[in-house]
Chains A and B, each alone.
Chain A
Amino acid sequence: MTPRDRLMIAAQLKEPDQVPIAFLRSSYDATRIGLNVKEYIFDYRKKLNAQIKLHEKFPECAFVPSIYPDFGIVSEVSAFGAEIVYYEKEPPMNHPIINKVEQIDDLEVPDPYKDGLLPKVLEAYKYLIENAPSQYQVDPTAIRGPMDLATAIRGVAPFLSDMFRNPEYVHKLMDITTETEINFMKAMDEVSGGSEIIFMCDDIPGLISPKFFSEFALPYMKKIFESFNNKIRFYHNCKGSMHILEQLTETGFQVFNFSFENDLEKTKKRIGKKVTLMGNVEPIGKFRTANPEEIEDICKHQIDIAAPGGAYALSVGGAVYGPDSSMQAMSNAAKKYGKYPIRKK
């Protein structure tokens, strides 16, 4: 059974042969092998090689997405005309596009075949499908959630205060970003003939109240996941989400990669029968600094809590920031302590 097979079985709320390990992909794949991030983004051959190297180094781990056209999280916002800032060692970022809320009236849903970096993503996706060795799955890029994209366009603080001052414009912008993501995903399906997964990242819902989540986020996230209900649906949110857990599951994802700030036991108890949990070892502190024995202990604890009954993948609560030794320790822990059947303790 491949690591990907394990993950897909767990995604169906079942028990594979052992607890899957699944890491989030990001442009840190480039820095892991000393590549300049901008070079990695625009040189498709280097991108493919960097991602393959990580698969080769950790053959027991699944990656979400697997091989994929990584352009950081700026592809969609670039299609609205945003200025993109590239870094040597970090994923790119963008400046907000609009200063006044009324400018939302002038925004149009971009064309994924023409606007910003989106055609480049499609081109890279095609290259990867044609050139990746057959043993590797090629996935579409992670799409930015509708609220995350809305804040990229408007700026985080103005968007959040618009929830009080200009709620009608929040809805207007969310309509635009939702349609943008659906069209982008459909365009990627045109290239691939239909992908196995959709992977959406949206941290902003973790920052807002249950009331605002229900009003401004839920309907839009739901619309995106419903549009692709024939795929395995992954959702990532690296902000704490204990206050909206049940509401989040109403959006329709199947696998939840969630923050280390969430209490794993409570998260499992509250939503673990409805969705597969993928998480949530603390990615910045412990995962970066603890020795392999400590990491194994942490992982054992996580397995004890969340693995019984299946529907669980061992992962970090965010993008991979830790050293290779920590990733290897996680892999070792899954082999040592994660063989099914696993009894509840």
Chain B
Amino acid sequence: MQNTEKLISDLKDAFVNIDSEQVNELLKKVLDLGVSPKDIIEKTVRQGANEVGRKYEACEYFLPELVMSGEMMKEVITLLKPKMQAEGIASNGKILFGTVKGDLHDVGKNIVISMLSVAGFDVTDLGVDITSERFVSEVKENNPNILCMSSLLTHTMTELGVVIKGLEKAGLRDNVKVMVGGRPVTKDYADSIQADSYGKDAYEAVEEAKRLTAAK
């Protein structure tokens, strides 16, 4: 038991130290000991991610550390997903995520996706430069709880509203919550286009996603 706790603590530290090789090695050991995927995510990945976020806020870490942390989270979640499904661990909700048409930015989107995945959401990354028609058809086909959209340019921000109008027109608006974010997007802007929610950063996006799915 003591060994298991030590390994879990080491795994969390490896996460915080952005040591991907050590994370892979320790993860195998922890799984061999029979620790549940839920515990692994809660005690190592999620706590590690919080610590990475704290270091970023304190200017001890910078964007490369945040990006690597996001990639490591994604790798762990991908590895654990089949086990979680086999054990019948329910997802907190289904999310579709994409950057709007005309916008090629994805660094922030990828970090938010990793954080949402760690928080137990089943997230599908649609990619960048996604047309409103594609967003609407993906919502129709996949019936997500939340559609997340990001825009990093002032001139692509308007696309966020275009998609929401598209959902209305297709009769899908009441079926899905819409969360928007990105550098030029503000809470006021989100309200003005009648989005359901706005995420200032990855942490706020996770909290908002929890709120939206609880309300549903």
Contact = CB atoms under 8 A, between A and B. Distances in A.
**A and B interact physically:** yes
Interface of A: 85, 87, 89-90, 93-95, 155-157, 160-161, 163-165, 207-209, 212, 243, 284
Contact of A157 (B20, B59, B107, B154): B107
Given A163-B64, A209-B61, A212-B64, A157 B110 contact: yes
A156 B18 CA distance: 18
Contacts, number: 50
Contacts of B106: 155-157
Contacts of B62: 207-209, 212, 243
Most buried by B among A94, A155, A209: A209
Interface residues of B, number: 20
B182 to A, nearest CB: 14
A237 to B, nearest CB: 14
Interface stretch (B35-43, B65-73, B83-91, B161-169): B65-73
A89 B102 CA distance: 12
A164 B104 contact: no
Contacts of A87: 102, 155
16 contacts: A85-B104, A93-B104, A157-B71, A157-B110, A160-B63, A160-B64, A160-B67, A160-B107, A161-B68, A163-B64, A164-B68, A165-B68, A208-B62, A209-B61, A212-B62, A284-B184
Contacts of A94: 104
A157 B67 contact: yes
A72 to B, nearest CB: 13
B153 interface: yes
A160 B104 contact: no
B94 to A, nearest CB: 24
A93 B102 CA distance: 10
A157 B71 CA distance: 9
Nearest to B109: A157
Nearest to B62: A209
A85 B104 CA distance: 10
Given A157-B110, A207-B64, 13 more contacts: A85-B102, A87-B102, A95-B104, A156-B107, A157-B107, A160-B67, A160-B68, A161-B64, A164-B68, A208-B62, A208-B63, A209-B62, A212-B62
Top 10 closest pairs, chain A to chain B, by CB: A160-B64, A207-B63, A160-B67, A209-B62, A157-B107, A163-B64, A156-B107, A157-B67, A164-B68, A161-B68
Interface in B100-122: 102, 104, 106-107, 110
A208 B64 CA distance: 6
B18 A90 contact: no
Contacts of B63: 160, 207-208
Contacts of A160: 63-64, 67-68, 107
